[in-house]
Amino acid sequence: MSIMRVRWGPQHPVSGQWAFWLDVDGDIVVNMEPDIGYTHRGIEKVAENRTYIQNVPVVERTSVFDAGNIVFGYVQAVEELMGIEIPERAKYIRTIVGEMSRIVSHLYGLGLLAIAVGFETMLMWFINDRELFLDLFEMLTGARITYSFFIPGGVLHDLPQGFYDEAMRRLDYFERRLKDYWKMFFLNRTFITRTRGVGVLKREDAIRLGVVGPNLRASGVEADVRKDEPYAAYDQIDFIIPTEKEGDAYARGGVRFHELEQSVSIIRQALKKIPDGKIRVKVPITPTPPKGEAYSRVETARGEIGYYIISDGSNRPYRVKISAPSFRNLLAMPFLSRNVPMADIPTIYLSLDLIPLDVDR
């Protein structure tokens, strides 16, 4: 049979902001090529045009789904360049915000995975419970998803009054909901049959292709920046890194689900342990770090993000390289969609949790 080239997206309900070229033979996809760049804003170039502080909201737009952790890496790199040590309390607040951001992002990703397998109800549940944490963000930072809360030197605000009780109340509720999710979603026959064995990524392939984050851990590699190279307050908190061996779509969903549980426990511990003190050190409004370079790694919801910042001694960065997690996971997408039925493509795509925004930057 002849091979036909089909274009998928960008105007397609699950495609998001990009397109795929699919070479199909009947119903089987023989080759797949991503067609990206639909949201290429040139963040790395624009960042050279702004001062270090002005860049915080700019780099945040790399992926607004997980705004906390994305900015985390940037401010850490700037702090390393300037040689600043931030106060203990700021570290804990950063940990709390980072984990809440991870929960928000995972709920979004799992909700989308639910659409791919035809679970409209689960989407509604996940997105609705996401609002629990968006409200907490609003209480803490004043914005729902783009809060630009971290600045070089610390964080912008202290925890507001009543935040502890409110957060604990919501976490209790959320933990009850997690049990429901497990029963309704992950033990559901339909869900299992539609995701088990789809898009199997083996351990060696995952490492070879440079896959990161939950996708790597679902293939059995225990690699997490929070453990390998503890930043903020992660070295003072107990948690485990969930891993799975199978490497299929179900395992990737499962890893993210277990990470939700871990995040809840991390936030609890951090809220209990948080010390008193200052929330930031004084940093000039246009910082001028000395000449040098820094590479900072942070574990975002989709995997490790790397910021490579070169300073030439002026108040603007000479080069900012963002090595975004979805860009690194992207290589797995053509690899996995070879010789699979067309109907599996949405499941593979959404189980990898690829976001076109941080692919394009």
Partner 1 sequence: MIKVEEEVVETLKQTFTEYVVEAKVQREKRVTVVVKRERLVEIARFLRDNLQFDHIASVSGVDYPEKNEFMVVYHVWSIPKKVLVALKTSVPRDNPHLSSLISVWEGVNYFERETWEMFGIIFDGHPNLSRFLLPEDWDRGFPFRKDFKLRTKPE
Partner 2 sequence: MMRKVEEWKEGRCRLFHFEIGKIQDWKPVKDLLNWARAWSLWSVHLCTGCCSPELMAVACSRFDAERFGTLPFPTLRECDLLFILGVVSEKMAKRVKITYEQMPEPKYVIALGDCAISGGLWWDSHNVVQGVDKIIPVDVYVPGCPPRPEAWIQGIRLLQKKIMEGR
61 binds ligand SF4 (CB under 6 A): yes
Count other C-beta atoms under 10 Å from residue 115's C-beta: 15
65 binds partner 2 (CB under 8 A): yes
β-bridge mates for residue 31, sequence order: 23
Considering only 32-40, 104-112, 130-138, 343-351, which stretch makes contact with partner 1 by CB under 8 A? 32-40
361 binds ligand SF4 (CB under 6 A): no
Give the DSSP letter of residue 338: S
Sign of CA dihedral 69, 75, 81, 84: negative
Tokens in use for 42?
Answer: 């040139």
What's the CA gap between 234 and 213, in Å, rounded? 17
40 binds partner 1 (CB under 8 A): yes
Q: Which of residues 23-42 bind partner 2 (CB under 8 A)?
A: 37-42
Which of partner 2, ligand SF4, partner 1, none sits in contact with 330, Cβ below 5 to 8 A by type? Answer: partner 1
Nearest distance, CB of residue 90 and partner 1, angstroms: 21
Question: Between 28 and 64, whose beta carbon lies closer to partner 2?
Answer: 64
Contact letters for ligand SF4, residues 210-249 (x by CB under 6 A) = ----------------------------------------
Count other C-beta atoms under 10 Å from residue 290's C-beta: 10
Which of ligand SF4, partner 2, partner 1, none sits in contact with 256, Cβ below 5 to 8 A by type? Answer: none
Question: Between 28 and 294, whose beta carbon lies closer to partner 1?
Answer: 294
What's the CA gap between 345 and 352, in Å, rounded? 11
What's the CA gap between 147 and 167, in Å, rounded? 18
Contact letters for ligand SF4, residues 140-179 (x by CB under 6 A) = ------x---------------------------------
345 binds partner 1 (CB under 8 A): no
Q: What sections of the chain are H helices per DSSP?
A: 43-48, 55-60, 67-82, 88-116, 120-141, 163-181, 189-195, 203-209, 214-217, 225-228, 249-273, 325-329, 332-336, 345-351, 356-360
Question: Between 182 and 239, whose beta carbon lies closer to partner 1?
Answer: 239
Which of partner 2, ligand SF4, partner 1, none sits in contact with 357, Cβ below 5 to 8 A by type? Answer: partner 2
Closest listed residue to residue 184, CA positions, set 348, 176, 172: 176
356 neighbors 20 (Cβ within 8 angstroms)? no
Tokens in use for 92?
Answer: 């804990």
Using CA atoms of 143, 122, 248, 19 in order, give the dihedral in degrees to the nearest 10: -60
- End-to-end, the C-alpha distance of the chain in Å comes to 39
Measured from each CB, the residue nearest to ligand SF4 is: 61
142 binds partner 2 (CB under 8 A): no
Question: Between 14 and 168, whose beta carbon lies closer to partner 2?
Answer: 14
Q: Which residues are at the interface with partner 2 (CB under 8 A)?
A: 10-13, 16-17, 37-42, 45-46, 49, 57-58, 61, 63-65, 108, 111, 123-124, 127-128, 130-131, 134, 144-146, 357, 360
Binding site for ligand SF4 (CB under 6 A): 61, 64, 146
